[in-house]
Structure 1
Amino acid sequence: MELFFHTLENGIRLVHRRIPGIVAHCGLFINAGSRDEKPEQYGIAHFIEHMLFKGTRKRKAYYVISMLEDVGGELNAYTTKEDTIIYASFLTEHYGKAVELISDIAFNSVFPEKEIEKEKDVVLEEIHSYLDNPAELIFDEFEEMVFAGQPVAHNILGTVDTVRSFTRKQLFEFVSEQYRADDMVFCSVGDISDEKILRLFRSCFSQAMPGKKNPQKEMPWQYRPATVTKVLNTYQNHCIIGNIAYNIKDKRRMSLFLLNNILGGQGMNSRLNISMREKRGLAYNVESTYNPYIDTGLFTIYFGSDANNLEKSISVAMAE
């Protein structure tokens, strides 16, 4: 089962693998995320991701979210610092519906004014939920400290002020500038021939605008180690220890992915979990994470512990 590749005339790429089975998956990967935002746009990539489900030129919002779910499928999306991903899981017989629906919301969303104002409230509550959750908030603040002044530094959700300021015109401008065919990949895994998926792909994605996006320029930057303490009214001390790491193109990244899994991955037998939780009872949550970006990366160890155990927890984590 070889991978099948194809690039349309406008530059958008297809990657498909045919595998037997009744369930299939596909997704559109758009290389446009929060690091592509100007300061006054902070949070707009994520906001647009929400608005993709609010109606297109030929579908109202209800039919966007119901089209696959009514036949046992799923449609969803998420935003990262560098990408927006729209994906679907469905029975193989509904391949055509899924591919056409993803292309429709990616290229034909209309961003109704009424829905924009309503969704602002939704995203503001999402921001507030993060501010109430120190275990989430600390990761955003850590990246803002490490990458200070860089487009990759700010959090994906944006700020209360920027989200409140978004206009329909701004949404269309960002999509026009960033949703470009050369920066898109459509991936598919399922029991459909290369010929059939190519016909669907050509039919649905030839409308993508050719060209490349305009990335935000990087500022002069030098990593400087630092220790930052913030006092909050919490029951636990939340701590991150980390450093810059290999970017996504570095061949050493696979070794670091493996080491990360051994040190503090999802398994109960990770070294950090055994050493800090099972043996010493210092923490309930302890994990390590490796996030590679296109031009840099970040490796972190996170744990939450009682204030009386903080120094010992740091010592044990560093020893591992």
Structure 2
Amino acid sequence: MDQYVITLPNGIRIIFKPFSSPVSHACIVINAGTRDESPQTSGLAHFIEHLLFKKTERRNTSQILNRLESIGADLNAYTTKEYTCIHASFLQAYLDRTLDLFEDLVFHSVYPDEELEKEKSVILDEIASYQDLPEDAINDDFEELLFAGHPLGRNILGTAESVSRLSRQDIFTFLQEHYTTNQMVIGISGNYSPSRIEKLAQRYFAHLPATHSSRKREPVAQYMAQTRKESKPISQVHCVIGAPAYNLYHENKTGLLLLNNMLGGNGMSSRLNLQIREKYGIAYTIDSNYTPLTDTGIFSIYFGTDAEKSDKALRLIYRELKKLCEHKLGTLQLHTARQKFIGQIALAEENRIGMIISMAKSLLDYNRVDTLDEIFARIQACTASQLQDIANEIFNPSALSVLLFQPESQ
């Protein structure tokens, strides 16, 4: 068997992927992100992720940070719109230590007032520095454009105002509502036996009381395409084009993933890179992205270029999108697109920590984890007609929103 799932009586699940290596990886993924916040507590999920590393009932900050780093391991965490993830990479002998620390951080953090104030200051600096990175800021602002007034449109960091007023009570309310055992998955990859993993899962997590919550997320409102230009103290134009797209469970998800990979995905041979960068030398960076979420998705194209080249870049992008809408892929084009995408997915398996996090999320979202063969079969099943239909739905110019940051002198 290629992977194993263990379900504890309290609802916590463990996904284990055996792999023969001296280095192991583990994560705990919690089905709680920034879209689960109220408008008044924007930034709370990310704030909690920071505070998990500050103090527990058994450890102070220094002891937390040194628990794994002292043996050369890597410990980190991140927050998205829908998840919070803690992850670690370490030598094989230290799985016990890692799981013990995960349990301590998630279930025994104490969130002292003095740490709250210090971490607010850190995050306020993070918010300020983020605004100095237009290539990052524009993607968050674009999501705000797509989902105005909805939790998905709010920045993961929150605002200076919302972060400043977050309280200890806000933290405990969020934890009680969202950090429940039935919404957590632990992922482990390494050279262990399934019985060893089950024994450790029982030791560190089975004693925790069962708690339960269900997803009660605000539905996305009806979308209307719009174009917005903003002047910024920057030297180049930055632009994002896109629209809402298919959710995690949509039958066309795989087809759009394949189209996105052809258009502006990984590698230098994407259509947009060959046209915009290689042929015309207009932009150093141009890529496309498709992120499926539980009830919607986001498709976007980003580029940065000199102000005098931005109009031409936009025309070329729309031309590439039009080609996909008006012309079916030929047999060789489709075969090449499939093989490229399949090869990239197979290579991504070498990123063991990324793989086990992806598997943990899959168990949360689908209550199962697909094998590589199942994923490849879905890609092979994509037809030229299906891809053309998807292109006409998602790449329709009248449905695309545009956000453009331009230098203040323009």
TM-score over 0.5 for the pair: yes
Q: Which residue of 2 aligns with 1:77?
A: 77
- Secondary structure in structure 1 of the residue aligned to 2:228: coil
Q: Hey, what's the Cα distance between the residues in 2 that align with 1:217 and 1:263?
A: 31
**Residues 4, 227 of structure 1: CA spacing in aligned structure 2 closer, same or farther, 3 A cutoff?**
same
Q: Hey, what's the Cα distance between the residues in 1 that align with 2:231 and 2:193?
A: 58
Q: Hey, what's the Cα distance between the residues in 2 that align with 1:35 and 1:126?
A: 20
Q: Which residue of 2 aligns with 1:210?
A: 211
1:126 aligns with 2:131: no
Q: Which residue of 2 aligns with 1:258?
A: 258
Q: How does 1:50-199 map to 2 (within 5 A)?
A: 50-199=50-199
- 1:108-146 deviation per Cα after TM superposition (whole angstroms, max 9, x unaligned): 111121111111111001111122222111111111111
Q: Hey, what's the Cα distance between the residues in 2 that align with 1:127 and 1:234?
A: 17
- Aligned AA (2:219): E
Q: Which residue of 1 aligns with 2:379?
A: none
The CA RMSD over aligned residues, in Å, is 1.4
- Aligned AA (2:85): I
Q: Hey, what's the Cα distance between the residues in 1 that align with 2:130 and 2:229?
A: 18
**Residues 214, 19 of structure 1: CA spacing in aligned structure 2 closer, same or farther, 3 A cutoff?**
closer
Q: Conserved in 1, the CA contact under 8 Å of 2:68 and 2:98? A: yes
Q: Which residue of 2 aligns with 1:11?
A: 11
Q: Conserved in 1, the CA contact under 8 Å of 2:181 and 2:211? A: yes
Q: Which residue of 1 aligns with 2:333?
A: none
Q: Conserved in 1, the CA contact under 8 Å of 2:41 and 2:162? A: yes
**What stretches of structure 1 of length at least 5 have no aligned partner?**
none
Structure with the higher helix share, 1 or 2: 2
Q: Hey, what's the Cα distance between the residues in 1 that align with 2:287 and 2:126?
A: 24
Residue 214 of structure 1: how far off its partner (Å): 5.9
Residue 254 of structure 1: how far off its partner (Å): 2.2
Residue 261 of structure 1: how far off its partner (Å): 2.0
- 1:64-119 deviation per Cα after TM superposition (whole angstroms, max 9, x unaligned): 11111111211110000000000111111111011111111011111121111111
Q: Conserved in 2, the CA contact under 8 Å of 1:260 and 1:290? A: yes
Q: Conserved in 2, the CA contact under 8 Å of 1:12 and 1:208? A: no
Q: Which residue of 2 aligns with 1:31?
A: 31
- Aligned AA (2:250): D
Q: Hey, what's the Cα distance between the residues in 1 that align with 2:301 and 2:264?
A: 8
Q: Which residue of 2 aligns with 1:240?
A: 240
Q: Hey, what's the Cα distance between the residues in 2 that align with 1:63 and 1:192?
A: 27
More moved, 107-116 vs 293-302: 107-116
- 1:221-277 deviation per Cα after TM superposition (whole angstroms, max 9, x unaligned): 111111111122221111111011111122322232222222112312222112111
Q: Hey, what's the Cα distance between the residues in 2 that align with 1:254 and 1:216?
A: 24
Q: Conserved in 1, the CA contact under 8 Å of 2:219 and 2:295? A: no
Q: Hey, what's the Cα distance between the residues in 1 that align with 2:239 and 2:31?
A: 31
Q: Hey, what's the Cα distance between the residues in 2 that align with 1:94 and 1:319?
A: 53
- Aligned AA (2:67): M
- Secondary structure in structure 2 of the residue aligned to 1:17: strand
Q: Hey, what's the Cα distance between the residues in 2 that align with 1:45 and 1:271?
A: 37
Q: Hey, what's the Cα distance between the residues in 2 that align with 1:318 and 1:156?
A: 30
Residue 172 of structure 1: how far off its partner (Å): 1.7
Q: Conserved in 1, the CA contact under 8 Å of 2:43 and 2:159? A: yes
Q: Hey, what's the Cα distance between the residues in 2 that align with 1:131 and 1:63?
A: 33
- Secondary structure in structure 2 of the residue aligned to 1:247: coil
More moved, 47-56 vs 161-170: 161-170
- 1:258-310 deviation per Cα after TM superposition (whole angstroms, max 9, x unaligned): 22222112312222112111111111111111111000001000001111111
- Secondary structure in structure 1 of the residue aligned to 2:311: helix
Q: Hey, what's the Cα distance between the residues in 2 that align with 1:233 and 1:21?
A: 49
Q: Conserved in 2, the CA contact under 8 Å of 1:177 and 1:213? A: no
More moved, 166-175 vs 207-216: 207-216
Q: Hey, what's the Cα distance between the residues in 2 that align with 1:71 and 1:165?
A: 38
Q: Conserved in 1, the CA contact under 8 Å of 2:37 and 2:44? A: yes
Residue 152 of structure 1: how far off its partner (Å): 1.4
More moved, 84-93 vs 241-250: 241-250
Residue 3 of structure 1: how far off its partner (Å): 1.0
Q: Which residue of 2 aligns with 1:307?
A: 307
Q: Conserved in 1, the CA contact under 8 Å of 2:29 and 2:83? A: yes
Q: Which residue of 2 aligns with 1:249?
A: 249
Q: Conserved in 1, the CA contact under 8 Å of 2:33 and 2:81? A: yes
Q: Hey, what's the Cα distance between the residues in 1 that align with 2:90 and 2:266?
A: 27
- Paired residues, number: 319
Q: Hey, what's the Cα distance between the residues in 1 that align with 2:195 and 2:157?
A: 40
- Secondary structure in structure 1 of the residue aligned to 2:24: strand
**Residues 265, 225 of structure 1: CA spacing in aligned structure 2 closer, same or farther, 3 A cutoff?**
same
**Residues 176, 15 of structure 1: CA spacing in aligned structure 2 closer, same or farther, 3 A cutoff?**
same
Residue 39 of structure 1: how far off its partner (Å): 0.8
**What stretches of structure 2 of length at least 5 have no aligned partner?**
321-410
Residue 213 of structure 1: how far off its partner (Å): 4.7
Identity in percent: 43
